[in-house]
Amino acid sequence: MSFQETLTNEEKLADLDVDQLKKLVGLVEYDESGDEFPVTGWDAIVFVVGNATQAAHYYQSAWGMELEAYSGPEHGNRDHKAFVLRSGSIRFVLKGAVDPDSELVAHHTRHGDGVVDIALEVPDVDKCIAQAKKVGATVLVEPHDETDEHGTIRIGAIATYGETRHTLIDRSRYNGPYLPGYVARSSTFVKRDGAPKRLFQALDHIVGNVELGKMDEWVGFYNKVMGFTNMAEFIGDDIATDYSALMSKVVANGNHRVKFPLNEPAISTHKSQIDEYLDFYRGPGAQHLALATNDILATVDALRAEGVDFLDTPDSYYSDPELRERIGQVRVPIEELQKRGILVDRDEDGYLLQIFTKPLGDRPTVFFELIERHGSLGFGKGNFKALFVALEREQARRGNL
Ligand SMILES: [Fe+2]
């Protein structure tokens, strides 16, 4: 199978090519024929939010996403409203309860705004579910067809950490706007003059926070159930106890489109940021989504102009001689990064630029990262110390340290 053939429909629609994707998200060539649980890539990230109507506006106005589909009471869905938004090759679906007895209300009461479903595109739903069953994973939805005038999807779902699931979708026989039950809808929000076409092109990784002692269990889940392999980056005791108070390992699917770092809290002198998340999310869940951009400076400028808040980076981060030495040359002067609070990390393959937003909702739980890769396939391990100094300052402000 050639690289070109491995481009997903979403990527083709977003005018992305293989070279861009190699750079953006570290796509690698991969033969899926021997894979018991082949995964093509992300299908959609589904959020439950307290007010989807307003959140849909925020993701269009601040994050430059395009509305492309909708489901709600006007079209027979009396339970909830759902807005499907796109940027580049990735879809977000925002769901908010309409019916006060909707299951989404109870979910939102427990967890607040958050990710309920990391849906993945797979070539063979039945094969994946069969493999999941064989190794003892929890199947939430048996494989079945759903059909409307746009064709048929094959769909199933398995459980992952907390109340998060992976819906598995084969949409090769479907050309509707999202799923049966949804209608096409385009943005009524008008972008500002001169606004960039889009602020991010793809999704790079989603980090899961799990309980103390559970990281290896979930790494094992992704290894055993989904055939994901461990990537090199590993945050162990050395960094964990002094600065980050977390441990982390990363698993990825065969083509590396889908990457899941998994964090657990580390024992530390004060409450870790992972513990704070677990308290406020009431259990394990998705901590952050890393959005890939090919121009992080322009993206951050546009987001700041719309009022998106980022974590502060201490000035000392940029003047630290050891860090400067390690970073070497990057595509812009360090001062340009400092102005925006963008972090740099480097490894043997290259470097990456990254920055983290403050929590997206009211609870100190889910947030976004922006990432611009230049060869590095890491996740910013070298920034952990600097980052966690900044994070802990925020945590102290909220009185949770
Ligand atoms: Fe990340």
What CATH number is attached to the domain comprising 373?
3.10.180.10
135 and 246, same domain (yes or no): no
The answer to whether residue 81 is domain-embedded is yes
13 and 50, same domain (yes or no): yes
CA of 13 to the centre of ligand 1 (A): 26
62 and 180, same domain (yes or no): yes
Of 184, 216, 249, which residue is a domain's last? 184
In the Cβ-directed half-sphere of 55, how many Cα atoms lie within 13 Å?
A: 23
The answer to whether residue 338 is domain-embedded is yes
Quote the pLDDT of residue 89: 95
296 and 209, same domain (yes or no): yes
Quote the pLDDT of residue 387: 62
266 and 131, same domain (yes or no): no
Phi-psi bin for 194: left (phi > 0), alpha (psi -120 to 50), beta?
A: left
CA of 127 to the centre of ligand 1 (A): 30
CA of 234 to the centre of ligand 1 (A): 13
CA of 287 to the centre of ligand 1 (A): 9
Quote the pLDDT of residue 4: 46
| Three-class SS state of 297 | helix
Beta-sheet strand order (sheet of 41-48)? 139-148, 151-159, 165-170, 114-121, 41-48, 90-97, 80-87, 66-71, 183-184
Quote the pLDDT of residue 313: 84
Of 184, 214, 237, which residue is a domain's last? 184
Shortest CA distance to 113 belongs to which of 277, 355, 356?
277
The answer to whether residue 193 is domain-embedded is no
Which residue range is the domain that position 150 belongs to?
Answer: 4-184
Residue 290 parent element (H or E) = strand 285-292
The answer to whether residue 11 is domain-embedded is yes
Quote the pLDDT of residue 268: 77
Quote the pLDDT of residue 388: 67
Quote the strand ranges of 135-284, DSSP E.
139-148, 151-159, 165-170, 183-184, 202-209, 229-235, 246-252, 259-265
325 and 252, same domain (yes or no): yes
What predicted TM-score, i.e. pTM, was given to this entire model?
A: 0.93
How high is the mean pLDDT in each 10-residue block of the chain (401 residues)? Answer: 68 89 88 90 98 97 97 97 97 98 98 98 97 97 98 98 98 97 92 89 97 96 97 75 79 95 87 92 98 97 96 81 78 92 91 96 97 93 71 77 72
The answer to whether residue 191 is domain-embedded is no
Quote the pLDDT of residue 258: 97
User: Structurally, how many domains does the chain consist of?
Assistant: 2
CA of 65 to the centre of ligand 1 (A): 21
Q: What angle do CA 43, 350, 42 make, to 5 degrees?
A: 5
